[in-house]
Amino acid sequence: MTQNETIRQAEVPMRRNDFHNIIINIDSYKNCHYALYPKGTEYVSSYIESRGGAFPVAMFVGLQAFVREYLMHPITLEDIDEAEAIATEQGMHFNRDNWLGILRDHGGYLPVEIEAVPEGTVLPVRNVLIQLTNTDPRYPWVTTYIETALLRAIWYPTTVGTVAWLAKQQIADVIAATSDKPELVRRILHDYGARGVSSNESAALGGMASLVNFSQSDTITGISAAKKYYNAGYTSSSGPSTEHSVLSSWGREHQADAIRNMLETYAPTGCAIVLTDTYDHESCVKNIIGGELKSMVENFPGMVGIRPDSGDPVQVTSDTIGWLMDIFGYTVNSKGFKVLPDFVRVIQGDGMTRDSFPQVLMEMERRGYAIDNAAFGMGGGLLQHVNRDTMAFGMKCNAVRVNGEWRDVSKAPTGDGVKHSKAGRLALVLRDGEYVTVPKDSVPAEENLLQPVFRDGKLLRMQDFTELIALSEKEVPESYYSAAVASIIAARTTNTIPVAVSA
């Protein structure tokens, strides 16, 4: 190839693959399944559930984002060409006629109906969350074709949302025991997960799921997703915070100058969160925050956050609270727990996971410190330390209609009872205050909590973000969260945590 030919080739614009082609948003083998259903198959029904795993409940979220981002945009001839080229390259059969038919007969929109429980609902695992079927008997294979994309769109935000919801129940329990401020419940845990996840879309979906539970976040794509997909208004707040590159750029001998500069710069905002462990955390707290800059902190027009970013999070959080109380004093609230002056708090973001977080809360309570004294940030522990197996999510075929007759189908492997699936078309109902999955034809349609939300390219039910929050905060049976707070209660009831302290 000559130099001129190379230049001309580089000038040819390439199609920008933004990964929104639903035909290739699959596992490759999906391309061969259309020919494997029984002859005469007209409809295929499938459902999604959490089959168990780490938690007793699921906070359902994520479907509307997926529908609006992927299913409300029709496939194009260019999408079909792209998918065919990739399948052919792999040696996989590709049925071009199927996709041309969807393009011709449905304008490129997938002929699928999706029913779902309202997002934001918290319900026990092993219940149906979503059920879908094709709407055109010529394309029964399309239901399970989109399994890869749809299941991923549900398991990830729902798992993150559930982790956050359970953390919120732990916070609520400790607030009830140690604080006079129940309004803090949505402000104690902050999402710092953007850098710790595998992709920007993960940050968006996970960050969005966290915001259903908490009004604190630095994950901007999560805020954007809540606004884009659920019409969110105000979602969260944040504040000026340093990082080690900023502080270390001043040099060790000028650490106090760096912190003074921050306090002066952001006094008008009423918030300054200062890293104190760039060198020696204890020395910085005692000798700079509590020494050279003490009066500046005391007179700051708002709140100065002291943020350790290393060490054992369980001990360093309470140690730092104690040092600050020695320096700035404290009051004792109506429940007998010590509270720092309003102008200073500890911000603990390092090492926070669903395992370590309750340990930090227990140690604070053991030392007689109200939860008011600290706020927490969770990063990878919130948005990344999960996978599909965390809640054993699965999407399985539960019924097919062949030659006009519905057949109940399921899987029942002898080697793993968890993977046994539900047979027959399903409904979700409330019976005596408990969610129960039942056969669809056993209950009146108006009792079925699974409601159509999407059909043939159209969104049938639009949920606002405020509705998700309201549903997530509905009163639930204690059994939903008892395991999450059990260790906290046990520590309290065995008198390893003081119920009151003297001033």
Q: In CATH, what number is assigned to the domain containing residue 312?
A: 3.20.20.70
- Whether 446 is covered by a domain: the verdict is yes
Q: How many C-beta neighbours within 10 Å does residue 351 have? A: 20
Q: Give me the pLDDT at residue 418, please.
A: 83
Q: Which of 383, 418, 448 is the last residue of a domain?
A: 383
pLDDT tens-digit map of 122-158: 999 999 999 999 999 999 999 999 999 999 999 999 9
pLDDT interval class at 264 (50, 70, 90):
very high
Answer yes or no: is 101 within a domain.
yes
* pLDDT tens-place string over residues 182-229: 999 999 999 999 999 999 999 999 999 999 999 999 999 999 999 999
pLDDT value at 12 more than 80: no
pLDDT of residue 500: 46
Q: Which of 383, 408, 440 delimits the end of a domain?
A: 383
Whether residue 213 sits in one domain with residue 188: yes
The model's pTM: 0.94
How many domains does the chain fold into?
2
Q: Is residue 495 part of a domain?
A: no
Q: What is the pLDDT of residues 22-62, one digit of tens each?
A: 999 999 999 999 999 999 999 999 999 999 999 999 999 99
Asked whether residue 351 falls in the same domain as residue 319, the answer is yes
Please tell me the predicted confidence (pLDDT) of residue 502. Answer: 46
Claim to verify: residue 304 and residue 403 sit in the same structural domain: no
What is the pLDDT at residue 415?
81
Q: Are residues 189 and 83 in the same domain?
A: no
Structural domain contains residue 26:
no
- Kindly give the residue spans of alpha helices, DSSP state H, lying in 179-199: none
Question: Does residue 484 form part of some domain?
Answer: no
- CA neighbor of 320 nearest in space, from 358, 349, 296, 354: 349
Mark whether 407 and 328 lie in a shared domain. Answer: no
Please give the pLDDT value at position 56: 98
- In this predicted structure, the answer to whether residue 17 has a pLDDT above a threshold of 90 is no
207, 199 Cβ separation under 8 angstroms = no
When pLDDT is cut at 50, 70 and 90, the band that residue 14 belongs to is very low
Closest by alpha carbon to 335, among 359, 308, 384, 368?
Answer: 368
Confidence of residue 414 (pLDDT cuts 50, 70, 90): confident
Kind and range of the H or E run holding 116: strand 112-116
In the three-class reduction of DSSP (H, G, I as helix; E, B as strand; rest coil), residue 190 is classed as strand
Tens digits of residue pLDDT in 479-494: 999 999 999 999 998 8
Domain boundary residue, one of 354, 383, 412: 383
Q: Does position 497 have pLDDT exceeding 60, yes or no?
A: no
Domain assignment present for 337: yes
Q: Tell whether 8 is covered by a domain.
A: no
pLDDT band for position 466 (cuts 50, 70, 90): very high
Rounded percentage of the chain residues whose pLDDT exceeds 90: 92
The angle, 0 to 180 degrees and rounded to 10, between the axes of the packed helices 96-106 and 77-90 is 170
- The range of the structural domain enclosing residue 465 comes to 39-157+398-475
Mean pLDDT of the chain: 94
**What angle (nearest 5°) sits at the alpha carbon of residue 391, between those of residues 387 and 397?**
100
Judgement on whether residues 133 and 207 belong to the same structural domain of the protein: no
- Is the model more confident about 421 or about 503? 421
Locate 320 and state its tokens.
């730092």
> What SS3 state is found at 124?
strand
pLDDT of the residue at 168: 98
Question: Is there a single domain that holds both residue 343 and residue 420?
Answer: no
pLDDT at 171: 98
Same domain, 378 and 405: no
Do 353 and 230 fall into the same domain?
yes
Is 93 part of a structural domain of the chain? yes
SS3 content of the chain, % helix, strand, coil (to 5): 45, 20, 35
Residue 19 above 90 pLDDT? no
Do 309 and 190 reside in the same domain of the chain?
Answer: yes
CATH code, domain carrying 148: 3.20.140.10
- Residue 237's φ and ψ, nearest 5 degrees, are -130, 165
Same domain, 184 and 331: yes
Banded pLDDT at 66 (limits 50, 70, 90): very high
Residue type, 135: T
Q: How far apart are CA 29 and CA 154, in angstroms?
A: 21
8, with CB counted inside 10 A (0-12, 13-18, 19+), is exposed
Same domain for 63 and 149, yes or no, is: yes
